[in-house]
């Protein structure tokens, strides 16, 4: 029995299985860059990266220089792309640990050049072009001059040209297809038929699964690695992905209460029959959102039981009247599978009015993680 009252369980066998499936979908000629930013979407960045490194993955995406440094210190070799610019103060770490920053402005490039020359090294940069995402990146007509600047600037070289799709998981395929054509025209214009060209990459999880023409030299799956589909519903139903994260706790107390018994703050739930209640040591400080109050189920003894009353900071209550022999210490699955029943991340996300990305980050980064398999 785990000593934790409430914990996240990470199934490394499922992680490996997802990785193999995504590599098969990407194809032999396309490299897979595993996005492990933000603690690998709550799954634990170092543990996930080491597991995937053992599977042969040699390209990783992080959001911050500090994350890249942590991976190097864990012995992660290969390509580490840093998505968010960290400023001049972090460039010594970029040079020392051979990280490859994403760039989109001349000032960034010159600062990286200065640090690389001082460190006696050459740093690869990935040039970000905004082909429709509407966030970071230069506009397409700015790329030719910027790429020329990169090639002429000491201490740096163009390791990649990248973009990002905002609608690869949309109902219509038209925008994504048009965006990819724009990306192709950009690459044709600046790279031509040269043998030595930067890595071209635009595909996120949705584009990897849905648009083979967007695979290019490298794909950047994030949420799919962790067994979640980019969009709930049937669009990616054929994707052979297994959930990596489960969320569990244990019964703290079981008590019998009479009819008309109010539960938790505000008495938003009152018993309509003699009832048996199980008190759980989990609440919104664990990421178990207060918005789930009186709406969500948990799994106990392989069956669903309704959560009742307001979810508190550290405590929530479940009605187990219809279950037999529930005792203090029994394992409770808040998200995941128990027996033949499952409470999926998408079910939790729908009840919270959000997406599975937010749920795994919220739960995974607010609870101790235990690794299995």
Catalytic residue among 29, 37, 184, 248: 37
Residues paired with 127 in a beta bridge: 103, 161
Fold of the domain spanning 12-226: TIM Barrel (3.20.20)
What would the pLDDT profile of 44-91 be if each residue is shown by its tens digit?
999 999 999 999 999 999 999 999 999 999 999 999 999 998 888 999
Please return the burial class of 115, using the count of CB atoms within 10 Å of its CB with bins 0-12, 13-18 and 19+: buried
The Cα–Cα gap between 107 and 370 comes to 43
pLDDT score of 248: 98
Look at phi and psi of residue 106 and say left if phi exceeds 0, alpha if psi is from -120 to 50, else beta: alpha
Give residue-wise pLDDT tens across range 189-227. 888 655 567 999 999 999 999 999 999 999 999 999 999
The burial of 191, by beta-carbon neighbours within 10 Å (0-12 exposed, 13-18 middle, 19 or more buried), is given as middle
Asked if 41 is an active-site residue, the reply is no
Tokens of 357: 């990305």
Question: Catalytic pick from 16, 265, 284, 357?
Answer: 265
265 is annotated as an active-site residue: yes
Q: Which residues make up the CATH 3.20.20.10 domain(s) of the chain?
A: 12-226
List where CATH 2.40.37.10 sits in the chain: 245-372
**pTM of the predicted protein model:** 0.94
Question: Residue 167, class by beta-carbon neighbours within 10 Å (0-12 exposed, 13-18 middle, 19+ buried)?
Answer: middle
What class, spelled out in words, does domain 245-372 have in CATH? mainly beta
What tens-digit pLDDT sequence spans the chain (373 residues)?
Answer: 667 899 999 999 999 999 999 999 999 999 999 999 999 999 999 999 999 999 999 999 999 999 999 999 999 999 999 999 888 899 999 999 999 999 999 999 999 999 999 999 999 999 999 999 999 999 999 999 999 999 999 999 999 999 999 999 988 899 999 999 999 999 998 886 555 679 999 999 999 999 999 999 999 999 999 999 987 666 777 788 999 999 999 999 999 999 999 999 999 999 999 999 999 999 999 999 999 999 999 999 999 999 999 999 999 999 999 998 999 999 999 999 999 999 999 999 999 999 999 999 999 999 999 999 9
């Amino acid at each position: 029995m785990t000593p934790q009252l409430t914990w996240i369980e990470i199934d490394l066998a499922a992680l490996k299985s997802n990785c193999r499936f995504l590599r098969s979908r990407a194809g032999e000629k396309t490299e897979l860059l595993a996005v492990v930013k933000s603690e690998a979407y709550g799954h634990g960045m170092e543990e996930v990266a080491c597991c995937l490194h053992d599977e042969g993955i040699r390209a990783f995406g992080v959001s911050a220089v500090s994350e890249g440094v942590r991976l190097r210190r864990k012995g992660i070799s290969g390509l580490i792309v840093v998505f968010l610019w960290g400023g001049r103060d972090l460039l010594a770490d970029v040079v020392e640990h051979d990280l490859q920053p994403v760039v989109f402005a001349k000032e960034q490039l010159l600062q990286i050049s200065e640090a690389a020359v001082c460190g006696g090294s050459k740093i690869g940069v990935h040039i970000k072009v905004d082909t429709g995402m509407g966030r970071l990146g230069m506009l397409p007509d700015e790329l030719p001059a910027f790429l020329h600047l990169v090639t002429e600037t000491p201490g740096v070289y163009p390791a990649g040209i990248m973009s990002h799709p905002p609608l690869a998981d949309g109902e219509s395929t038209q925008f994504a297809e048009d965006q990819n054509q724009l990306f192709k025209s950009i690459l044709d214009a600046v790279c031509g038929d040269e043998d030595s060209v930067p890595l071209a990459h635009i595909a996120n999880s949705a584009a990897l699964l849905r648009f083979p023409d967007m695979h290019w030299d490298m794909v950047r799956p994030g949420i799919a690695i962790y067994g979640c589909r980019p969009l709930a519903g049937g669009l990616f139903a054929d994707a052979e992905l297994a959930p990596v994260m489960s969320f569990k706790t244990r019964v703290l107390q079981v008590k019998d209460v009479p009819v008309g018994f109010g539960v938790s703050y505000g008495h938003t739930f009152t018993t309509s029959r003699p009832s048996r209640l199980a008190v759980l040591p989990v609440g919104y400080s664990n990421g178990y959102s207060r918005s789930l109050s009186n709406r969500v189920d948990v799994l106990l003894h392989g069956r669903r039981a309704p959560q009742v009353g307001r979810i508190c900071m550290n405590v929530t209550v479940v009605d187990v009247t219809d279950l037999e022999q529930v005792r203090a210490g029994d394992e409770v699955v808040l998200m995941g599978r128990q027996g033949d029943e499952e409470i999926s991340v998408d079910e939790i996300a729908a009840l919270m009015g959000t997406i599975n990305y937010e749920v795994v980050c919220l739960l995974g980064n607010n609870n101790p993680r235990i690794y299995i398999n």
